[in-house]
A and B are shown apart, each in its own frame.
Chain A
Amino acid sequence: MNSILEIRGLVTSFATDGRKDRAVAVNGVDIDIPRGAIVGLVGESGCGKSVTALSTLGLLPENGRVDAGSAMFGGQDLLKLKDHELRRIRGNRISMIFQEPMTSLNPIMTIGRQVSESIMLHGGVDKATARARAIEMLEKVGIPEAKRRYDSYPHELSGGLRQRVLIGMAMVMQPDLLIADEPTTALDVSIEAQILRLMRDLQRESGTSILLITHNLGVVAELCDSVCVMYAGEVVERADVFTLFRGCAHPYTRGLMAALPRMAMKGQRLYNIPGSVPNLWSMPAGCRFSPRCEFAKESCRQEKPALADLGDGHLCRCLFPLDDVPQHEGDNP
């Protein structure tokens, strides 16, 4: 067993008021997370990144439903487990960090109790042990004066510290897999760097695999071993991080890269991919990216490309994958 989590053919749809047909948010996604690796899941808002993660943990909102697929984790298909079986896995063997550190903590419970709640829930230990372990964890995630901060309420902490607490809560049971859903989006850049470093350090120490959901390619380059790029509910490109940044093959990934601000482009207008993500009910025929693709040919609008291997495990869903050309000359890789 090389992968800690294998998602195969995941299809998730949502019921929407006033419509009979369901909106398919995730359409046949395959993702592998190797043991001990950090995998990035990138894409624009609304491309199905978060829904993929929520589906595997059975945390979809009431109107959402997994229609097909499997998510093998430690020999079990997470998508077929009952809620009480999943509850034993959540927070214990797979945990999650959310985007909003300001609201992800219960405002009227001390942060220490929120960390020890998780320990008592899964660890089966008494209050005093849980408290000691919670303080130890708070120290580990860099909360100054952890012993005193144990009795602090979330509003007494800044966003950065709250995100540290959330990471502590997620890591305290030493899970096999951590799903981080845009963990640094709500933080400013200097705190973002600190949090990313903390996550990497904890990951190296515990060997936990991480699925990092983000729309920030800079974060991916910094932290991840391999990357899945999603567009309109599908994986469009998958490669290890060096291959991808050396030469991505899908025009969408290339667009994302070109949209990154660079020092060398100072004063120039920032590139943006024309158009917007297609409506979930009216997906274009053929390649879903074709209406926005500057390289699209007639066949792109008719034939749906498959996820093809370009060699070395570099997968790309494109009829005319781009050659390995450095896209921005004069830029340091």
Chain B
Amino acid sequence: MKKTGKDAYTAKLAKQALEAEMLPEADEFKSMRIMLRTNWTALLGLVLILLIAALALAAPLVTRCDPEAIDLAHMRQPPSAEHWFGTDDLGRDVFSRVVYGGRTSLMIGFVPSLISLILGTTLGLLAGYAGKHVDGLIMRLADIVLAFPSLLLAMVVMYTLGASLLNMFIALSIINWAGTARVVRAQTLSLKEKEFVEAGRSMGVSNAMILLRHIFPNCVPNLIVLFTLDIPGAIMWESSMSFLGVGDPNAASWGLMVSQGKQYAYMCPWVILAPGLAILITVMAFNFLGDGLRDAIDPYMKT
């Protein structure tokens, strides 16, 4: 009897030991969520982004004037209760134009970043995993793209293909994919040496499945950060190009508005101030969020 009692006790101890072994550790998605609660600039960035996106989406509801309605009787009017941000040289309501322009600018931020994310990730994964000649080919291609000044390269593409929104997407994707590909390749190189990849191979998992189910998901936290920081970059490139006159003249983006308003900058500064501030706030918001996310997954920044 005494022995069984002791046995039960040791079994209980062993069970407790097993339970105690399960200690939590940090994981990246969790630290991203924690970061959003504690890092107020990142949270502000997220709130601003959601606000801007909501305004752009609900443009017909928040504006009272057609952004294209020309009213020559009320040209270059300063901000008023009727026209919050004033009117431009054709009497169009600047507030409406900024809100509707947000649709174009956000799309220009989002679409090329998504294209370059997909392109860069695919090529980066291939380069890192296949190695040798595939790696050499893809990375030299990336080097060539990165060797050109980005703005110049994008402008050359726009001149060659012609000014349209689609070509703007193509131009911005071309200058952006290489950076993503480099990051993903570097991460693939380190991940493919990890034991769990070797363990996967020892279980008979095919290369394609290892890439898709084991390596790619481990790159996702980094890709979220890259994507968040690519968007403001694309908005800035587009604004610069529109300002320089290589953008699509029909896509009423913020950059184009600044460009068109610059000749009246002294007479009616609100015409360029409003879209200019919109660019500033949007880009800042994305950068705040992106920096916060990057800090959250960077082990060296953790305290």
Contacts and interface: CB of A to CB of B under 8 A. Distances in A.
B149 interface: no
B202 A57 contact: yes
Given A95-B202, A156-B24, A108 B15 contact: no
A121 B204 contact: yes
Interface string A71-110: 0000000000000101111111001101110011111110
Given A90-B201, A156-B22, A109 B206 contact: no
A91 B202 CA distance: 6
A220 to B, nearest CB: 22
B22 to A, nearest CB: 6
A122 B204 contact: yes
Contacts of A126: none
Interface stretch (A31-39, A130-138, A157-165): A157-165
Contacts of B213: 106, 109, 117
A269 to B, nearest CB: 34
Contacts of A84: 206
Contacts of A98: 195, 198-199, 202
A155 interface: yes
Nearest to A61: B193
Interface in B14-45: 15, 18-19, 21-28
Contacts of A118: 203-204
Interface residues of B, number: 29
A59 B197 CA distance: 11
Contacts of A91: 202-205
A321 interface: no
Contacts of A89: 204
A59 B22 contact: no
Contacts of B204: 86-92, 118, 121-122
Interface string B266-293: 0000000000000000000000000000
A155 B23 CA distance: 8
B167 interface: no
A195 to B, nearest CB: 12
Interface string B208-223: 0000011001101000
B159 interface: no
A153 interface: yes
Contact of B194 (A96, A103, A122, A157): A103
Contacts of B199: 96, 98, 104-105, 166, 169
A105 B196 contact: yes
Contacts of B28: 108
Contact of B200 (A99, A106, A122, A144): A106
A62 interface: yes
A323 to B, nearest CB: 42
B218 A59 contact: no
Given A90-B204, A118-B203, A157 B22 contact: yes
A97 to B, nearest CB: 8
B196 A103 contact: yes
Contacts of B205: 87, 91, 117, 121
Contacts of A100: 195
A158 B17 CA distance: 11
Interface in B214-260: 214, 217-218, 220
Given A87-B205, A118-B204, A156-B23, 20 more contacts: A59-B198, A59-B201, A59-B202, A89-B204, A90-B202, A91-B202, A91-B203, A106-B218, A107-B27, A107-B196, A108-B28, A144-B15, A155-B25, A155-B27, A156-B22, A156-B24, A157-B22, A160-B21, A161-B18, A161-B22
28 contacts: A59-B201, A62-B131, A84-B206, A92-B204, A95-B202, A95-B203, A96-B199, A99-B195, A103-B195, A105-B196, A105-B199, A106-B196, A106-B200, A106-B214, A107-B196, A108-B27, A108-B220, A117-B203, A117-B213, A152-B22, A153-B27, A157-B21, A157-B22, A158-B21, A158-B22, A158-B23, A160-B21, A161-B21
The 5 closest A-B pairs by CB, nearest first: A158-B21, A91-B203, A90-B204, A91-B204, A96-B202
